[in-house]
A = this chain, B = another copy of it.
């Protein structure tokens, strides 16, 4: 079944051509990028509007793969003549929590951001997948009707453009980041919870979600907390895109929530994000998601609910 989507969702970020080297093999020139992973995941819940640019080297195969995700509206995908697509080569160690960037070619990401199609201007939920915070801000400014703007970022921007990132954080409603990034933003924090609480307060955000990879995710919301472990995966083939698809499942579910951004709704959205990410890592690139069904997602959510349940004893319930 498809989710009933009350609110329109738009995403911008990178679309790329990845080469991934890891203990389970190497794949070359596969589809990658924060916005493509996000959109593929969000599409299991609601239609998703994609705004991104690629170069004239963008393979037809990748367009074909994107079109398999029927709920992605690619009207905002610009194939820019004379430009090169963003390319990234990464290597995972035996401990797949350790990732090394072997090569990166920013390409079209260094140029002007692509235009927002007029039909997308009424979007209510905006996700700013990881990219330059200046571009994230420019993009966010184009949605006058947005009632939920959420961003991701990365170590690079925290280090090199702290002022731009501050401006971004003062504008958005929610942040979805990694634990290492939370620690960079609040170096004095003793742990991830403390860091997330400090970020939420400092920028008066509605919420901060911190992704901890195999250790799950935490939500610090203006009105309360939620914590979730990750799905206990036996095998990780390729962790690339896990965080972006977590965010995609999270925002996709929120787009179906009719403007309810309570702790309870975000907690469930986080559970959906966790489940979608757990499928992403089962294959390289978007391969697993391309064959995934909403029923498989809901079945695994039910499994997760059993696995993490704390059933209350009668004495404590009273």
Contact = CB atoms under 8 A, between A and B. Distances in A.
Interface of A: 1, 23, 94, 96, 190-194, 197, 212, 214-216, 218, 225-230, 232-236, 264, 267-268, 271, 298-299, 301-302, 304-305, 307-313, 315-317
A190 B1 CA distance: 34
Contact of A301 (B192, B227, B310): B310
Given A197-B234, A228-B308, 14 more contacts: A1-B315, A23-B190, A191-B214, A192-B214, A193-B233, A226-B309, A227-B229, A264-B311, A271-B310, A298-B313, A298-B316, A299-B316, A302-B316, A305-B312
Contact of A309 (B235, B267, B317): B267
17 contacts: A1-B315, A191-B233, A215-B229, A218-B232, A225-B232, A225-B307, A226-B307, A227-B307, A227-B308, A267-B309, A268-B310, A268-B313, A298-B315, A298-B316, A302-B316, A305-B310, A308-B310
Contacts of A225: 232, 307
A193 B228 CA distance: 16
A312 B302 contact: yes
Contacts of A315: 1, 298
Contacts of A226: 307-309
A178 to B, nearest CB: 14
Which 5 A-B pairs give the minimum distances between C-beta atoms?
A: A298-B316, A215-B215, A305-B310, A227-B229, A193-B232
Contacts of A192: 214
A299 B309 CA distance: 17
A43 to B, nearest CB: 17
A295 B203 CA distance: 36
A308 B243 CA distance: 20
B232 A229 contact: no
A190 B307 contact: no
Contacts of A227: 229-230, 232, 307-308
Contacts of A96: 190-191
Contacts of A218: 229, 232
Nearest to A274: B310
A9 to B, nearest CB: 18
A210 to B, nearest CB: 11
A308 to B, nearest CB: 6
Contacts of A234: 193-194, 197
Nearest to A268: B311
Contact of A216 (B193, B229, B313): B229
A273 to B, nearest CB: 12
Q: Which of A214, A227, A301 has the most chain B CB within a 10 Å cutoff?
A: A227
A146 to B, nearest CB: 25
Contacts of A193: 232-234
Contacts of A197: 234
A225 B308 CA distance: 9
A290 to B, nearest CB: 22
